[in-house]
Amino acid sequence: MIQVIRNSSRLIMLALFVTLMAVGAGCKSKKKAAEAAAAAEKARMEQEAAALKKQQEEEARRKREAEEEAAKRAAAEANTKNPKAKLEEYFGAISGSGNAASANSSINEALTLFASPDTPVLIVIHEAGGQKDYDKPTTIKNYLNYLKDQKKPADKIGNLQFDPSGKITEVELVKQQ
């Protein structure tokens, strides 16, 4: 009987050992499953963060584009609202320019206000009784180059005529006395 008890206790110990191994292995599986779940959750969170960052970048890009478009519209409006003031600015920049490259850049910018570089410029040299005497007609390109070369203040803008697209088609200047 003692022999049977001893054999059965060995059997019980062996069963207990196998059970502990199975439980231990099960815990390792559960641990690995938990780690896999945590890794999957981390990957999902990283994907969400990347998607959110991409969305924010897209919104920032759209906002920048909208601001740039608004600035372009404002600049275009400023040019069409008061071309006389803009032209006077260009005249001052060209005649007061310190170097030819800067003056040429201002000339090219100013020419965008005109329908053509050959837009006529009429300079009133004398006016009496509603009659105007004009100097020899020139073109806007020649007049702007004259301002660049002479470095004198421009004549006063008297009248501007526009085409339907808002470009200047004729300039009348009044000679400074």
CB neighbour burial string for 134-170, b if at least 16 within 10 angstroms, e if fewer:
eeeebbbbebbbebbeeeeebbebbebeeeeeebbeb
Both 15 and 94 in one domain: the answer is no
The pLDDT assigned to 21 comes to 59
Q: Can you give the pLDDT of all 177 residues of the chain as single tens digits? A: 556 555 566 666 666 566 655 555 555 566 777 787 788 788 888 888 888 999 999 999 999 998 888 887 777 666 556 888 888 989 999 989 888 899 899 999 999 999 999 999 999 988 888 888 888 989 999 999 999 998 888 889 888 998 888 899 999 999 876
Q: Are 151 and 96 in contact (CB under 8 A)?
A: yes
Angstrom CA distances, 141 to 40, 50, 81, 118, stand at 70, 55, 23, 7
Helix (H, G, I), strand (E, B) or coil at 83: helix
> What pLDDT score does 86 carry?
87
Question: For residue 154, what pLDDT is reported?
Answer: 85
171 close to 122: Cβ distance less than 8 angstroms: yes
Residue indicated by tokens 């999902």 = 44
Q: Are 75 and 87 in contact (CB under 8 A)?
A: no
Domain boundary among 47, 81, 115: 81
Domain closes at, from 56, 81, 106: 81
Q: Say yes or no: 12 and 75 in one domain.
A: yes
- Full residue range of the structural domain in which residue 62 is found: 1-81
CA-to-CA dists, residue 153 to 18, 94, 139, 147, angstroms = 105, 9, 18, 7
Identify whether residues 37 and 105 lie together within a single domain.
no
77 and 95 assigned to the same domain: no
Query: Do 5 and 71 reside in the same domain of the chain?
Result: yes
Last residue of a domain, one of 63, 81, 99: 81
Domain count of the fold of the chain: 2
pTM for the full predicted model: 0.54
